[in-house]
Amino acid sequence: MKRVLQNARAKRKVLVVEDEWINREILGNMLSEEYDVAYAENGQQAISLLQEDADSFSLILLDLMMPVMGGEEVLKICRSDTALTGIPVIVITQDEDAEVSSIRAGADDFIKKPYDMPEVILARCERIIDLYEQKKLIDSAEIDPLTGLYTRDFFFEYIRQMEKYSDANMDAIVMDVEHFHLINEIYGRSEGDRILKKISSVIMTELRDSFAIACRCAADTFYIYHSCSSDYCMLAEKILGEMASVSFKSTKIRLRIGVNKSVDRNTAPEQWFDHAKLACDGLRGDYTKQIAYYDSAAHDRQLYHERLIRDMDSSIANKNFTVYFQPKYGIEGDRPVLKSAEALIRWIHPELGMINPGDFIPLFESNGLVQKLDRFVWEEAASQIAFWKKKFGFTIPVSVNVSRIDIFDPDLEDRLLGILDKNGLSSGEMLLEITESAYSDSAERLIEVVNNLRAKGFRIEMDDFGSGYSSLNMLTTIPIDVLKMDMKFVSNMLKDDKSLKLCELVMDISKFLEVPVVAEGVEEKAQLDKLKDMGCTIIQGYYFSKPLPADQFEKLIKKETEA
């Protein structure tokens, strides 16, 4: 590495600061073969040369006794000016006492006058330049040049070292500036840099007395590793307060902070911060909160959901999805009669086992994937209806669920008719269940779609009725054929009076709309009797049967027809 550097720039530049010309000559002769030499006759000249182009100098040889400005003053300036502090200084002196004081003042070495051992002087120059260059190299990997905080790599290396000596409870914190790219774009990069520097300097000041380290990880992302503390709001307030005291063009700066409390030492440090970052990213666009805490249960859920999303396609291809059928019974007569069924999807995952639709339907509804599943279920249901129709000589109508998103599919009608057509069925043989909340979410569109479907002969069941807060006004305009009472009311109708009253209310609404009610979730005889008293004519629930695979449902049809 050192050799590469030395070859890269053949001659370093040395500044000789010396008021006596003869001494300048002697030093110049000694150095000029190895170095480019620049000269200054006093401290003032030296400082202006250095300030003009600090980066070009590799070493200063500094006389102490000079007119205008002496060497000690030059040394003081060099050590307090951040642009000059990286240039090593060798003091030239005759005075033994001055050696100690100049080293204390920040000189790196000293040379005695007269200059009687040129090789020693040259060797000292070379050694000091080497030392500084190596230090700079190490520093540059260690320190982010813009902010003075650690770099990401060094930060993690430092944490690993800390881990060897401390088992204190620690938090991982990720701090991010909201819309930082916009600040850069609107106000320019230098304004962006100014903000980052300010944030960093407050972080440094605030952490000075804490057991903590910090780095700038990426453009506007800061990582802090901090002994457990409950109040990072204070830190954020402090930073924002300090920012407000400096006049930034962009005054509305917002910080997001994600905290992973008490990091789990069984995992890698990078993961502690990935998790804090997840919490931090979760705050994007949420202006009510500044800090979020990583929640491992929520993260596990997120990973589980990712897995389900990833596996959906292959599971369709591998036939890991299957359709179950739950019977609906008419209870008007003396004995219940099998009338129809609802098709309900089941996922038998090769590794995770049976997954409940409650786990994946809402997830796939939120990202649109549910459409694919619905189509699969419609096709399976239709082919099953056709199969039983052929086998038994009559139709068991099956209801399929239609998701909210399907309503916005311009091809919905054609798609459904296409599936029925393929199986030789008519639209009266497959019913459509649409959840009530879809009606209240997008009423106009839905009414239009439902009207079109009914005109083609489909019958529409409003699913989960009572949970979707339809307005009474809307109910009178909604075109439906069946109301499916929300299961919650049925489950609680014998436990609390309010649920019972709601069941009665649903029955009244159904009479007003002149449509039958299907009561879902009936598990007990007492519930069935009560619903029958109220005038409910169709029952779906475990009391009669859980959803069944097609072959078992077929046995049920046989049993019922024989009876």
Rule CB under 5 A: is residue 401 a binding residue for Mg ion?
yes
Rule CB under 6 A: is residue 525 a binding residue for ligand C2E?
no
Minimal distance, residue 484 CB to Mg ion, in Å: 5
Report in angstroms the alpha-carbon separations of 470 from 63, 437, 446.
Answer: 91, 7, 13
Q: Site map for ligand C2E, 317-336, x if CB under 6 A? A: ---------x----------
> Rounded distance, CA 147 to CA 221, Å?
12
Buried/exposed code over 401-429 (b: 16+ C-beta within 10 A; e: otherwise): bbbbbbbebeebbebbbebbeebebebeb
Three-state DSSP at 68 gives coil
Binding range to ligand C2E, per CB under 6 A, among 99-107, 368-376, 408-416, 554-562 = 368-376
Minimal distance, residue 493 CB to ligand C2E, in Å: 13
DSSP character at residue 242: H
Minimal distance, residue 413 CB to ligand C2E, in Å: 17
Please say which residue, 229 or 442, places its beta carbon nearer to ligand C2E: 442
Closest CA to 402 of 446, 443, 359: 446
| DSSP calls for 325-376 | EEEEEE-SSSS-EEEEEEEEEEEEETTTEEE-HHHHHHHHHHHSTHHHHHHH
Say which amino acid occupies 425: L
Buried/exposed code over 245-271 (b: 16+ C-beta within 10 A; e: otherwise): eeebebeebebbbbbbbebeeeeebee
> Which secondary structure element, helix H or strand E, spans residue 214, and what is its range?
strand 212-218
Please say which residue, 47 or 343, places its beta carbon nearer to ligand C2E: 343
Q: By rule CB under 6 A, what count of residues binds ligand C2E?
A: 25
Contact with ligand C2E (CB under 6 A): which of 345, 453, 517, 528?
345
Rule CB under 5 A: is residue 178 a binding residue for Mg ion?
no
Binding range to ligand C2E, per CB under 6 A, among 132-140, 333-341, 357-365, 410-418 = 357-365
Minimal distance, residue 277 CB to Mg ion, in Å: 39
Residue 527 binds which of ligand C2E, Mg ion, none (CB < 5-8 A, kind-dependent): none
Say which amino acid occupies 430: M
Rule CB under 6 A: is residue 353 a binding residue for ligand C2E?
no
Say which amino acid occupies 437: S
Rule CB under 5 A: is residue 461 a binding residue for Mg ion?
no
450 contact partners, CB below 8 Å, separation of at least 6: 434, 460, 478, 479, 480
Binding range to ligand C2E, per CB under 6 A, among 68-76, 156-164, 415-423, 518-526 = 518-526
Binding range to ligand C2E, per CB under 6 A, among 156-164, 225-233, 297-305, 354-362 = 354-362
> Which secondary structure element, helix H or strand E, spans residue 541, and what is its range?
none
Contact with ligand C2E (CB under 6 A): which of 220, 436, 461, 464?
464
391 contact partners, CB below 8 Å, separation of at least 6: 554
Please say which residue, 99 or 463, places its beta carbon nearer to ligand C2E: 463
Binding range to Mg ion, per CB under 5 A, among 167-175, 255-263, 509-517, 518-526 = 518-526
Rule CB under 6 A: is residue 461 a binding residue for ligand C2E?
no
Rule CB under 5 A: is residue 540 a binding residue for Mg ion?
no
> Rounded distance, CA 176 to CA 254, Å?
9
Our CA angle for 173, 178, 182, nearest 5°, is 140
Rule CB under 6 A: is residue 397 a binding residue for ligand C2E?
no
Helices (H), 105-188: 118-142, 152-165, 180-187
Would you state the structure tokens that stand for residue 560, as one six-digit string?
Answer: 């019922």
Residue 541 binds which of ligand C2E, Mg ion, none (CB < 5-8 A, kind-dependent): ligand C2E
Please say which residue, 13 or 415, places its beta carbon nearer to ligand C2E: 415
Contact with Mg ion (CB under 5 A): which of 41, 133, 436, 464?
464
Strands lying side by side in the sheet with 255-260? 212-218, 221-227, 170-177, 255-260, 291-293
Rule CB under 6 A: is residue 344 a binding residue for ligand C2E?
yes
Rule CB under 6 A: is residue 340 a binding residue for ligand C2E?
no
Please say which residue, 108 or 433, places its beta carbon nearer to ligand C2E: 433
Please say which residue, 338 or 343, places its beta carbon nearer to Mg ion: 343
Please say which residue, 221 or 326, places its beta carbon nearer to ligand C2E: 326
Please say which residue, 10 or 354, places its beta carbon nearer to ligand C2E: 354
User: CB count, 10 Å around CB of 388?
Assistant: 20
Rule CB under 6 A: is residue 407 a binding residue for ligand C2E?
no
Report in angstroms the alpha-carbon separations of 390 from 396, 457, 551.
Answer: 11, 21, 15
> Rounded distance, CA 450 to CA 433, Å?
11
Binding range to Mg ion, per CB under 5 A, among 126-134, 303-311, 426-434, 441-449 = 426-434
Question: What are the residues binding ligand C2E (CB under 6 A)?
Answer: 326, 344-345, 356-358, 361, 370, 373-374, 377, 401, 403, 433, 463-464, 487, 520-523, 540-542, 547
Question: What are the residues binding Mg ion (CB under 5 A)?
Answer: 401, 433, 463-464, 520
